[in-house]
Amino acid sequence: MISWLGKHRCGPVGVDLGARSIKLVQLSADRLHLIDACRWELPPIQPNTSFEQHIARWSEGLAKALEGRAFRGREVVVCLGDRQLFLQNVRVPREMGAHMHRLVAQEAAGRLPFGIDEAELRFVEAADVRQGDATLREVIVFACQRTVLQQTLQMVETAKLNPVAVDVEPAALARCYAAQFRREDDKNERALIVHVGYSRTAAVIAQGDEMLFVKYIEIGGSHFDAAIARHLKMDASEATLLRKHNGDRRSDMQDPEVARSVAEASRPVIERLGGELSMCIRYHSVTFRGQPLVRMVLGGGESTPQLLESLGRHLDVKCELSDPFRSFPTVPNLGRKGQWDVATGLALRELN
């Protein structure tokens, strides 16, 4: 086991390997100061890009992202995202220790897209739920192929980094959320954490940093770009630039005609995403009874005030943007704050 020594003056670097960029975040050992944060854009990909091609892109991008930065040490926490993970909520009888591990493995074996003997499998116990007359344990299963994990670790080590832990994106999001909402009341409340990436959206229902439910939704920035491209009869790359530049401007600086066109083209995608999130909320209300969701926190590289406002009209819950650095005394301008939620959650991980 790798030990985490209290004498260290900085935490590990959180490495978020995305579809379009790599994001790195490092915090001080007390998690109260930002040491450095970096985003490195990756070359465009095709829809059928293989995992080996992703590895090659990440390897080159990671080496370049580290050049000339203020990161300290070589210890990193790397993340497995939606491309590498198989994720499933299952229900099993309540057991302890090895019995629970066996039950979860048996339940997951028939659902995995690869053999159980090829899998690295972990699970999180969410809560007890009623099913008929029985009380079962709701469990979130995370699994990946062992070869995928090995390739990811080898890529990180090739960059002369020391991977001290491997995490999963939903756990990093819950950890980042808990760091933003730290009051005692916040720790006992439940929230829907929504991370809108370029390919997919992660929806996590959590209480503090404890996950209760996780789902990946097949809607992301690429779907907004495709809708805008069709509506305005332009290339997808042009639609990407139009949406990004318009969304990153203050509302009083936006071209009203462009803003209306983007909003009109995006409306069907937003309605689909809002519908999917509403179903997540309904699942929570039926499965985990007795405690409502108090807020939705929107993050990810595609999170904008406009998207927050639109989703807020679909969800009967308080909505706000994620800001992973809200408690830090000084932070440079890093663009959309929500894009740093996964990398910050990784950097917040405590190591034994």
CATH class of the domain at 86-145: alpha beta
Contacts 24+ apart (CB under 8 A), 270-275: 270/307, 270/310, 270/311, 270/314, 271/314, 272/219, 273/196, 273/201, 273/217, 273/219, 273/311, 274/310, 274/311, 274/313, 274/314, 274/315, 275/314
Q: pLDDT at position 216, please?
A: 95
Q: Measure the CA–CA gap between 302 and 214, rounded to whole angstroms.
A: 19
With 0-12 CB in 10 A as exposed, 13-18 as middle and 19+ as buried, what is 32? exposed
Q: Which residue, 244, 322, 249, is CA-closest to 20?
A: 244
The encoded tokens of residue 129 equal: 């739920």
pLDDT at 1 over 70: no
When the pLDDT of each residue in the chain is averaged and rounded to a whole number, the result is: 89
pLDDT at 30 over 50: yes
The answer to which of 7-11, 34-38, 120-124 has the lowest mean pLDDT is 7-11
Q: pLDDT at position 207, please?
A: 94
Global confidence as pTM: 0.91
Q: pLDDT at position 121, please?
A: 93
Q: pLDDT at position 236, please?
A: 82
pLDDT at 96 over 80: no
Cβ partners under 8 Å of residue 159, min gap 6: 59, 62, 63, 66
- Mean pLDDT (whole number) for 262-290: 92
Q: pLDDT at position 324, please?
A: 96
Chain CA centroid to CA 184, Å: 24
Q: pLDDT at position 248, please?
A: 62
Q: Which residue, 75, 77, 69, is CA-closest to 16?
A: 77
> Cβ(298)–Cβ(322) under 8 Å?
yes
Domain range list for the chain: 86-145
Q: Measure the CA–CA gap between 136 and 122, rounded to whole angstroms.
A: 18
pLDDT at 209 over 60: yes
Q: Measure the CA–CA gap between 270 and 282, rounded to whole angstroms.
A: 18
The three-class DSSP label of residue 250 is coil
Q: Measure the CA–CA gap between 350 and 287, rounded to whole angstroms.
A: 30
Q: pLDDT at position 2, please?
A: 36
The three-class DSSP label of residue 143 is strand
Q: pLDDT at position 194, please?
A: 98
The residues pairing with 207 across neighbouring beta strands, listed in sequence order, are 190, 210
The three-class DSSP label of residue 329 is coil
The answer to which of 11-15, 42-46, 62-66 has the lowest mean pLDDT is 42-46
pLDDT (tens digit per residue) in 143-165: 999 999 999 999 999 999 999 99
C-alpha triplet 266, 234, 202: angle, nearest 5°: 35
The three-class DSSP label of residue 296 is strand
Task: State the CB neighbour count (10 A cutoff) for residue 114.
Answer: 14
Q: pLDDT at position 249, please?
A: 58
Higher pLDDT, 147 or 3: 147
Higher pLDDT, 254 or 186: 186
Q: pLDDT at position 5, please?
A: 37
Task: Name the helix (H) or strand (E) containing 122.
Answer: strand 119-131
Say which DSSP state 155 is in. Answer: H
Q: Which residue, 88, 196, 185, is CA-closest to 143?
A: 88
Q: pLDDT at position 250, please?
A: 60
Q: pLDDT at position 33, please?
A: 93
Please give the full DSSP string across 34-63, using - where no structure is assigned.
Answer: EEEEEEEEPPP--TT--HHHHHHHHHHHHH
Quote the percentage of the chain above a pLDDT of 70: 95
Q: Which residue, 301, 242, 274, is CA-closest to 21?
A: 301
pLDDT (tens digit per residue) in 174-206: 999 999 998 888 888 999 999 999 999 999 999
The residues pairing with 24 across neighbouring beta strands, listed in sequence order, are 15, 38
